[in-house]
Amino acid sequence: MKIFIDGKYYSEQNAKISVFDHGLLYGDGVFEGIRAYHGRVFKLKEHIERLSHSAKAILLDLPMKRDAICKAVLDTCRKNDLRDGYIRLVVTRGVGTLGLNPNRCKRPSVIIIAGKIQLYPEEMYRKGMAIVTVATTRNLVNAVNPAIKSLNYLNNILAKIEANIAGVEEAIMLNQEGFVSECTGDNIFIVRGNQLLTPPLSSGALYGITRGVVMELGAKRGLEVAEVNMTRYDVYNADECFLTGTGAEVVPVVIVDGRKIGAAKPGRWTRRLIADYHALTKVSGEPI
């Protein structure tokens, strides 16, 4: 594997960053997780735009122009003969001193890894998954805003550990007010009648790229799409529930906190949206 770091390519063994990089010392940096399908990078522009918004929110000047980052992502795929896979794009604050002040960091580092993706078992898509609500509350939008896709993922990791302990793959996280926010690495949707509902960004959800695509696909299918605050009661009593993410794509949820959702099998709208999503990934994206 050839890994891009600041304009040069390194082998896996030689791809290293300094122990003084504030990305490591403080989780000071931002990242993106991107997919390639059939020789195209899916929603590349959207991912780079979100990266630049995350960077802006933490006052990090990206050391490359957006176009140059897009090109570097495509080049890294090409160098690795990647047609289908997962691309991790990371921008760290860069090398600094042991103090947390970022003004000592001279230059942010850009890292691009183009590799394989670890998928959920195929069975989860056929039968649906069970999830639970966890006690770890979503970070406050006023603290480290979860809209920032930062290298500080402990909030999500703690929730993931709770899900693991409960024996499930994903966890619903609630915000401080008790509204559903999202899962640890996926956004959440419910279907109620002809409505397709997902929590608003103010709930502490990430502006998911897959979330945006699925909202468009839902609208095209004639569903009434809306961002609304929801409680666990709304999820329990939904007709259908599913999660969205670059890694997971669209994955049906059939049990939440022991409550069966709808008929406890992937719903018809969920199945349609999975099919629509697959169809889109087959034909759209930046050619590698």
Active site residue 149: yes
DSSP 118-135: -PPPHHHHHH-EEEEE-S
Question: Could you count the other beta carbons within 10 Å of the beta carbon of residue 116?
Answer: 10
Does position 249 interact with ligand PXG (CB under 6 A)? The reply is: no
Going 275 to 278 to 282 to 286, the CA torsion angle's sign is positive
For the bound state, the minimum distance from the C-beta of residue 74 to ligand PXG, rounded and expressed in Å, comes to 18
Residue span binding ligand PXG (CB under 6 A) among the ranges 8-16, 137-145, 180-188, 265-273: 180-188
β-strand pairing of 129-133 with 170-174: parallel
CB atoms within 10 A of CB 165: 11
Q: Rule CB under 6 A: say whether 27 interacts with ligand PXG.
A: no
Whether the Cβ atoms of residue 259 and residue 209 lie closer than 8 Å to each other: no
Kindly state the smallest distance separating residue 104's Cβ from ligand PXG, in Å.
29
Q: What is the DSSP letter of 146?
A: T
Out of 133, 187, 198, 281, the residue judged to bind ligand PXG by CB under 6 A: 187
Partners of 224 in the beta sheet? 195
156 binds ligand PXG (CB under 6 A): yes
Strands (E), the chain: 2-5, 8-11, 29-37, 40-41, 85-92, 109-115, 129-133, 170-174, 180-182, 187-192, 195-198, 224-227, 240-245, 249-256, 259-260, 286-287
Rule CB under 6 A: say whether 182 interacts with ligand PXG: yes
Kindly indicate which of the ranges 91-99, 182-190, 233-241, 272-280 contains the residues binding ligand PXG, using the contact rule CB under 6 A.
182-190
Q: Is 155 in the site for ligand PXG (CB under 6 A)?
A: no
CB of 95 to ligand PXG, least distance (A): 25
The correct pick among 21, 170, 186, 276 for binding ligand PXG (CB under 6 A) is 186
Token pair 């999975």 is found at: 274
Minimum Å distance from CB 186 to ligand PXG?
Answer: 5
**Binding string, 194-233, against ligand PXG, x = CB under 6 A?**
------------x-xxxx----------------------
Stretch that binds ligand PXG, among 161-169, 226-234, 240-248, 274-282 (CB under 6 A): 240-248
Nearer residue to ligand PXG within complex by CB, 136 or 156: 156
Which are the catalytic amino acids?
Answer: 149
Residues that bind ligand PXG (CB under 6 A): 33, 156, 182, 185-187, 206, 208-211, 244-247
